[in-house]
Amino acid sequence: MQLNSRGSINWRWWAAAGLFSLGFIGLLSGTSLSERPDVVESSWLTKAYYALGLFVVGGLDIGTPQDGTWWSRSMLWIAYFGAPFLTASAVIDALIQAMSRDHWQLRRMQDHIIIFGSGALTLSYLRLLRRNGSTQSVIVVDKHFDPVREQELTNKFGVTTIVGNLTHDYLLQQLRMHKARRVLLFGNDDFEAFEAAARILAIAPSLAGNLILHCHNLRFMRSLQDTELAKRCHTFNTYNLAGSGFVEDYLVEHFHQTKSRDVVVMAGFGRFGQSVLEGLQNVAAGEIEHVCVIDIDADRRVLVAAEQERIGEGYKRTVFQGDISHPVVWEQLARTVNLGETEPTVILGTGKEQDNLRTALWIKERYPNALVFARTNDISMFASSVGAGRDIRSISITQLMEDHIPDHWLK
């Protein structure tokens, strides 16, 4: 376990300079050394070397002060005792900081928030937490920290960073789980996250309902949703949260306003696209006439969604396997549905931001009547400015996710 901490030791530099000066002046003033009597005749550089050596070996190898005036011997004796003591105090202080500071600081923790993982999701959560006015102590744990990210976490958000793994029982004990307000598992390994959740709840069962677990794999998350462990946690997926929020914010009202049933083109059917379709079926199934799915791995992804019962009935569905950047795919779609006669909703939702924006521009030029959305991952001023000039809605996964994080996660 390694805790990030900073401290000032400027006083030691002043003490070191003073002790070195006393030793150096004492040798320059004619005081000799019992094991190095010839130091009296040596150069000032040699005397400086012996004075500096007091911080490392004291007087063990050079003997004790003799001859000279009483005040020169006194100055040298002060340096003899002071220099090793200063060195020892620095070493002891470093050991205390490395071995004890973490322990005592953690022992004072209570009603704190613990986050595992230091990625973009952690930054989003901390940004919302601090914006919400929370001043609670936050500990961020990760196996490894990027130095710049660690500095951002500590300086901007005032958190404590610890290197470690939440599946290790010793670390869980040190983090005072039974005193924590909330634990958020935002790591990159889904299996490890559920393993950590099981261990945390075994140590601190009171955290049930206050343990938030992010799962990258939607299929894995859904397969576990009826387990006892999952019921004691809040499990979510970023794209699933963003997808349902996107439907709520942008599509429901639009579908209610259109006179006829809508045609929806989903160019990209990964986690975000599947979540959007699931959200549409939940709140606006009767408004949809035809869904066209385009994805480079469309056949398999549609089968997976159907297996998990995430694809409903009551509307026509057509699947096109191919890259959204390939003109042939759009030619095939044009032969299936005439986008020019309706007011279709076209969602460019792949993980390739550049392809999404470029294709959105092409679609809007060819079908000006279409409601076109282009997805970015992070909030993009560039995509927003380009889209605003061409009547294209730029949507950000990060922004959608932040807008729809439940309020009780931030209290």
Q: What is the 3-state secondary structure (H, E, C) of 331-363?
A: HHHHHHCCCCCCCCEEEECCCCHHHHHHHHHHH
DSSP annotation of 261: P
Q: What is the H or E stretch that residue 302 is in?
A: helix 298-307
The tens digit of pLDDT for each residue in 353-373 reads: 999 999 999 999 999 999 999
- DSSP count for the chain of H helices, then E strands: 18, 15
**Higher pLDDT, residue 359 or 283:** 359
Domains 2-107 and 113-236 agree in fold = no
- Residues across the chain: 411
pLDDT band at 2; cut points 50, 70, 90: very low
pLDDT of residue 80: 78
Please tell me the distance from the alpha carbon of residue 316 to that of residue 334, in angstroms, as a whole number. 15
pLDDT band at 61; cut points 50, 70, 90: low
Mean pLDDT in residue range 372-398: 94
Rounded to the nearest integer, the mean pLDDT of the chain is 86
Here the tokens at position 13 are 């530099």
Domain 113-236, second-level architecture: 3-Layer(aba) Sandwich (3.40)
pTM over 0.75: no
Mean pLDDT in residue range 187-195: 95
> In the chain, where are the structural domains located?
2-107, 113-236, 240-403
Please tell me the distance from the alpha carbon of residue 288 to that of residue 314, in angstroms, as a whole number. 8
Whether the per-residue pLDDT at 28 is higher than 90: the answer is no
Domain at 240-403, CATH homologous superfamily: NAD(P)-binding Rossmann-like Domain (3.40.50.720)
* Displacement of CA 323 from its chain's centroid (Å): 31
Q: Which CATH number fits domain 2-107: 3.40.50, 1.10.287, 2.40.360, 3.30.70?
A: 1.10.287
pLDDT of residue 5: 39
pLDDT of residue 153: 94
pLDDT of residue 308: 75
Whether the per-residue pLDDT at 104 is higher than 70: the answer is no
Mean pLDDT in residue range 27-55: 74
The tens digit of pLDDT for each residue in 388-410 reads: 999 999 999 999 999 999 999 99
pLDDT of residue 1: 45
Whether the per-residue pLDDT at 245 is higher than 90: the answer is yes
**Higher pLDDT, residue 110 or 375:** 375
pLDDT of residue 6: 41
**What percent of the chain stands above pLDDT 90?**
54
